[in-house]
Amino acid sequence: MNDSIYNKLNELAEQAGCSKIKESYNEVRTSMLNKTIKQYAVLGDVNVGKSTIINILAGEKKLPVSVRSNEHGKVAFVESEKNNCRWVELSTSSYVNDDLAAQDSPLWHIDAAVYVLSAVTPFSQQDVDAVKSCIAHGVPCSLVLSKLDTVEESEKAEIVAYIRSQSEHYFGTDSLILINVKDEEATRQAVIKEFASAEDSTDIRDYALAVSYANALKEQITANYNSAKEKMQLVSKKEAQAKISLDAEKIAWDSIKLGIESRKLKLIDEMSVEMNRLYANCIASLTDKAMLAKSPKDWWKQSLEAEFSREIVKISNSIDRLICSSVAADRDWLVHTVEQKFGSKLSADAEGSSARLDTVVFGVAPESLSCTRLTKTVAIAGMTVSSVALCCVLAYPVLAMHSINALYWKVAGIAVAGTGYWTFLETKKEKADRQQCLREELAKYILRSRDENIEVLKNNIEYGYKNMCISAQDMQLASSKEPLNSDDKKVYDEFRAISEISRRCDEIVGSMLSEE
C-alpha cells in the first residue's frame, strides 16, 4: 500500500546522499512488516504499576514489582504462548526523548498499547507527550487508570472526571479504563479486551514511519541546502566584492586613460605649434641666404638642398627634445598613478619618439629669380642718359664761352634726381619681388614636407603612448578576464542540485501530509 511512497523516498535519499537514513528506515520497515508475533506495550510513568499489570496478563510473576520505582532498563518484555503475543514494558525515556532518532523508537514494533495513569499522581505533561508519541507512531493507545482504590471514596469521581477532561482536551476522547489490580482476573480481561479491540495498525504505522522517514530526509536535505546556500552566498559575496573591486579598477583605469589621452593631445598640439614655428623660421632663413647670393637661381641649384638639410637637422633636434621630455614626464606620471591607485609596480616603457623628418627634393628654380630684369636695365639706361645729358649741359657753356643760366641747372638737376630716384625704386621693387618669389617657392615645397612630417610624428606619438600604457592595461584587464574557478563552479553546481532535491522533497512531504 505504501510501497510507492517508499520508492519515492528511497530515490530521493539516493539523490540527496542520505543512504544511511534510507538503510535505517528500510531496515525498521522490514522488521515491522515481517514480525510474526503481536507486541502489546504497557506504558506509563515510574511506579504506576506497569510491571504488576504485565505479571497479571502473563498469569505469573515475570517482572519484579516493588513499592519503589522499578525501571529496570528501557525495555522489558514477557512472551505469552497462550495468547501468541508479547507483553512489553517500556519506560517513558525509551520512546519520548529528544535525543533519540525517530527510526530507533521501539514504538514502531508495537501493535497496540495501554498507558497506565496513577490515581495518586497528577496528569502530567510527560503523560501527554508519551501518549502523543504513540499516536504519532500510529500505535492505538488506551488510557488505564490504576490505584484508584488507594484514594478516598469522595475523591474518586473528581479524579476520574479530571482525567477524562484532560484526555478529551489533549487526545479528543474521554475513554478511560478503570482497573483494580487486586482483582487480577477483571484487570486481565479488561486489558486483553482493549488490546483485542484495537484494529490492526500495521498500515497506519507503516505510513507513520514513511512520514518520519520523509521528515528525517527533509531535515537532512534542509541542512544540506542551508550549508550549500551559505557556501554559495560566500562565493556570491566574494564575486560581488571582486566585481566592486573590478568596477573601481575600471573607473580608475578609465581616469588614467583619459589623463594619458589628454597629455598625448597636448603634446601633439605643442609639437604642431613648434613645427609651424620652426618651419617658418626655416623658410625665412633660406630666403635670406638666397637673397645674399649673387645669383638666387644658381644658389637654388647648388646650395638649397644642403642648406635645407642643415635646417631640417635643427628642426629634428628641437622636436626630439620637446617629444622626449614630454613623454618621459608622462611616463613618470603614469607609473606613479598606477602604483598609487592599483598598488602595483609598473614598468611603463615607451619607444623613443625621435623625429625622423623627411627632407625635400626641390624642383627647378623659377625664372622669376633671374637678376637681369627689363625694369632694372631701363632704369640703368635712363640713369646713364640723364647723366650724359647733364654733363653736356654743364660742358656746353664753358666750351662756347657763354654764361650758365640758372634754369639749365634746375632742369639738369631735376632730370638727374628724377632718373636716380626712379632707378632706386625699381631696384628696391625688383628685390622685394625676388624675395617674395623665393619665399613662395620655398614654402610650396617645405610646407608640404611639414604637413607630412606632422602626420608621421602624430602616429609616432600615438604608438609611443599606446606602448606606454599596454602593461598597465593588461594588468588591469587580467582580473576581468579571470574565469570562475573550479571550486566556485562546484559550489554553484551543488547548490543547484540540492535546490532541486529540496523542491522534490517539499513536494513529496506536502503530498503525504495532504493525504493524512
CA–CA separation, 84 vs 43, rounded Å? Answer: 20
Is residue 15, in this structure, part of any structural domain at all?
Answer: no
Query: How far are the Cα atoms of 269, 390, 399, 414, 418 from residue 411, in angstroms, in the given order?
Result: 64, 9, 20, 5, 10
| pLDDT single digits (tens) 110-138 | 889 999 998 888 788 888 999 998 888 88
- Domain residues for 455? 234-495
Is residue 104, in this structure, part of any structural domain at all?
Answer: yes
pLDDT at position 27 over 50: yes
Among 155-159, 208-212, 459-463, whose mean pLDDT is lowest? 459-463
Is residue 3, in this structure, part of any structural domain at all?
Answer: no
Is residue 65, in this structure, part of any structural domain at all?
Answer: yes
DSSP string of 288-320, one letter each residue: HHHHHSS-HHHHHHHTHHHHHHHHHHHHHHHHH
Name the grid cell of 495: 547548490
Q: Are residues 245 and 393 in the same domain?
A: yes
Q: Are residues 332 and 414 in the same domain?
A: yes
Residue 115 phi/psi, 5-degree rounding, is -110, 120
pLDDT at position 372 over 50: no
Is residue 213, in this structure, part of any structural domain at all?
Answer: no
Q: 229 pLDDT band (50/70/90 cuts)?
A: confident
Q: Are residues 177 and 39 in the same domain?
A: yes
pLDDT at position 71 over 50: no
Residue 361 phi/psi, 5-degree rounding, is -95, 110
pLDDT at position 481 over 50: no
- CA 416 to chain CA mean position, Å: 99
Q: 370 pLDDT band (50/70/90 cuts)?
A: low
Domains: count for the chain: 2
Residues 6+ apart with CB under 8 A from 171: 131, 132, 135
Among 91-105, 260-274, 371-385, whose mean pLDDT is lowest? 371-385
Q: Are residues 63 and 193 in the same domain?
A: yes
CA–CA separation, 69 vs 46, rounded Å? Answer: 6
Is residue 227, in this structure, part of any structural domain at all?
Answer: no
Q: Are residues 75 and 145 in the same domain?
A: yes
Residues 6+ apart with CB under 8 A from 386: 415, 416, 418, 419, 420
Q: 165 pLDDT band (50/70/90 cuts)?
A: very high
Among 25-39, 78-92, 377-391, whose mean pLDDT is lowest? 377-391
Q: 66 pLDDT band (50/70/90 cuts)?
A: very low
Q: Are residues 238 and 196 in the same domain?
A: no
pLDDT of residue 465: 80
Q: Are residues 388 and 330 in the same domain?
A: yes
Q: Are residues 477 and 346 in the same domain?
A: yes
| pLDDT single digits (tens) 390-430 | 666 566 555 554 555 556 666 666 766 666 666 666 566 76
Q: Are residues 295 and 440 in the same domain?
A: yes
Residue 199 phi/psi, 5-degree rounding, is -70, 160
pLDDT of residue 115: 92
Q: Can you tell me the mean pLDDT for 322-334?
A: 85
Among 27-36, 76-85, 180-189, whose mean pLDDT is lowest? 76-85
For residue 187, what is the domain's CATH number?
3.40.50.300
CA–CA separation, 453 vs 36, rounded Å? Answer: 108
Q: Are residues 245 and 141 in the same domain?
A: no
Is residue 215, in this structure, part of any structural domain at all?
Answer: no
Q: Can you tell me the mean pLDDT for 70-79?
A: 49
Q: Are residues 154 and 103 in the same domain?
A: yes
Q: Is 404 helix (H, G, I), strand (E, B) or coil?
A: coil
Beta strands, E only, 260-374:
none
Query: Between the CA atoms of 454, 459, 464 and 467, what dihedral angle is there, to the nearest 10 degrees?
Result: 170
Q: Are residues 186 and 327 in the same domain?
A: no
Beta strands, E only, 408-482:
none
